[in-house]
Amino acid sequence: MATHFSSSLQIIIMFLCCTVCSTDISCRNEAGEPVDWFIIYKLPRYKIGEVGSGVDYMYLDSSVWSWQMSKFMVNTSQGAIVNTLNQLYMGKAYKSNSSVYALYNDGPPILDYIQGYGHTKGVLLFDRSQGFWLSHSIPHFPSFPERGYLYPSSGKVNGQTALCVTYHYEQFLQIAKQMVYLYPRFYNCSVPAAFLADLPQLAQLCEGSKPPLASDKRVEQLFSMQGEKFVSFVKSERYVDDIYTGWVAQALDADLLVESWQRQGHELPSNCSLPKHTMNIKRIRLPGSVLFQSHYDHSKWCVSRASEDQVTCLGDLNRESAQMWRGGGLVCTFNPLIYKAFRQLVDWYIGC
Ligand SMILES: *[C@@H]1O[C@H](CO)[C@@H](O)[C@H](O)[C@H]1NC(C)=O
Ligand SMILES: *[C@@H]1O[C@H](CO)[C@@H](O)[C@H](O)[C@H]1NC(C)=O
Ligand SMILES: *[C@@H]1O[C@H](CO)[C@@H](O)[C@H](O)[C@H]1NC(C)=O
Ligand SMILES: *[C@@H]1O[C@H](CO)[C@@H](O)[C@H](O)[C@H]1NC(C)=O
């Protein structure tokens, strides 16, 4: 009797908890349920010996053991990214004075390109309790809030990645400090009056002004809702160097294999001059042995060469000389599942 009572009580509590949780601002998985973090890898249209749709993608979160091919397409109304962003689009959170949001992209949808902003793309949405930070590599994305979710055709040909992490409100105070270094182009944003005291710099960025910087780069540990550690490395345009070689490889004390968008004639070669080396990935092997060339991949990520170091970073910057003069950053994780998923994608890199 007592067991019966306690198990039905448990069910009621679980039900109440889920109802509450599902209204909390959070990264959302493929089914629309809240998750601590997820990563998607949108595959390029041109693979070796195969032409794909350009809208198919692989999905990863802590509940799956490796990359899952999504049954959805990135340009439709179902899937993790749209489920996450619909909290802004459908929930009309962009009109709310109890939540903060920012859409940023150096190349925003429709609007002209303006020089001087950081080479960084993403979305912030949070309230006094929690929210998400989605960082991604997709140009002209996401769409203006009143237009609803749209995936740009310019984001179809090349590979792209997106990392979403759910954080407590307090972590956004740190994320806001990182944003100052990134100097993102906020093309739609709102920092309501009630948040001004906590987030003065975010409000300045939202108004289009540039808050002053204490130095030229900054590193900060961030902890997700579930306590997973992420390390945010950000540099301003005043730190003139390749972020991977000059800073992150040395700071992590790890040789890095880097996948980034390198246009012919602009690429920084693999570099073994400093104690820790940075080497360019040239070809990716997807689960199931399909290969594609980095040439068709606009994503920006790196993994440690050695599994002892077990580090994976996703970010904003390419290994190209012009990007040394741009603001941008990387979010790194030591999660073994994420490391294994990315490390096994490396098919060929240029050593030195
Ligand atoms: C998604 O993209 C594919 C490939 O370009 C296209 O065939 C399809 O019509 C698009 N679907 C939507 C809903 O836009
Ligand atoms: C927020 O909006 C609500 C409803 O429009 C309004 O009643 C409230 O005073 C607003 N709060 C602040 C702090 O502006
Ligand atoms: C987003 O920005 C665009 C371009 O400036 C503007 O047309 C649109 O009204 C903005 N939307 C919101 C909700 O601020
Ligand atoms: C390697 O990278 C460092 C840091 O960016 C740079 O100073 C050095 O010139 C590079 N070496 C070569 C051979 O490109």
Q: Calculate the CA 312 to chain-centre distance.
A: 12
194 lines ligand 2 (CB under 6 A): yes
Q: How is residue 214 written in tokens?
A: 């204490």
283 CA → ligand 2 middle, Å: 53
Ligand 4: which atom is nearest the Cα of residue 268? Answer: 14
In ligand 3, the atom with minimum distance to the C-alpha of 94 is 13
Residue 28: inside a domain: no
The answer to whether residue 12 is domain-embedded is: no
Side chain identity, residue 316: D
What is the pTM for the complete model shown? Answer: 0.93
Question: Which is catalytic among the residues 136, 140, 277, 298?
Answer: 298
Residue with tokens 């300045």: 204
**What's the total number of domains in the chain?**
1
Q: What is the extent of the structural domain holding 313? A: 37-350
Place of tokens 């195969």: 50
- In tens, the pLDDT along 8-39 reads 545 444 444 444 445 899 999 999 999 999 99
Q: How far apart are CA 78 and CA 72, in angstroms?
A: 6
Three-state DSSP at 314 gives strand
**Cα 191 to ligand 2 centre (Å):** 13
The question of whether 168 is a catalytic residue gets the answer no
Output the pLDDT for position 23. Answer: 80
CA–CA gap between residue 109 and residue 154 (Å, rounded): 10
Q: How far is the CA of 146 from the centre of ligand 3 (A)?
A: 8
Q: Is residue 241 lining ligand 4, measured as CB closer than 6 Å?
A: yes
Write out the chain's pLDDT in tens, 352 residues: 444 544 454 544 444 444 444 589 999 999 999 999 999 999 999 999 999 999 999 999 999 989 999 999 999 999 999 999 999 999 889 999 999 999 999 999 998 899 999 999 999 999 999 999 999 999 999 999 999 999 999 999 999 999 999 999 999 999 999 999 999 999 999 999 999 999 999 999 999 999 999 999 999 999 999 999 999 999 999 999 999 999 999 999 999 999 999 988 899 999 999 999 999 999 999 998 899 999 999 999 999 999 999 999 999 999 999 999 999 999 999 999 999 999 999 999 999 9
Cα 155 to Cα 74, 294, 341: the distances in Å are 10, 15, 23
Is 63 inside any structural domain?
Answer: yes
Distance from the alpha carbon of residue 320 to the mean position of ligand 4, in angstroms: 12
Percent pLDDT > 90 in the chain is 89
* Nearest CA, atom 13, ligand 1: 76
Is residue 24 one of the residues assigned to a domain?
A: no
In-domain check, residue 275: yes
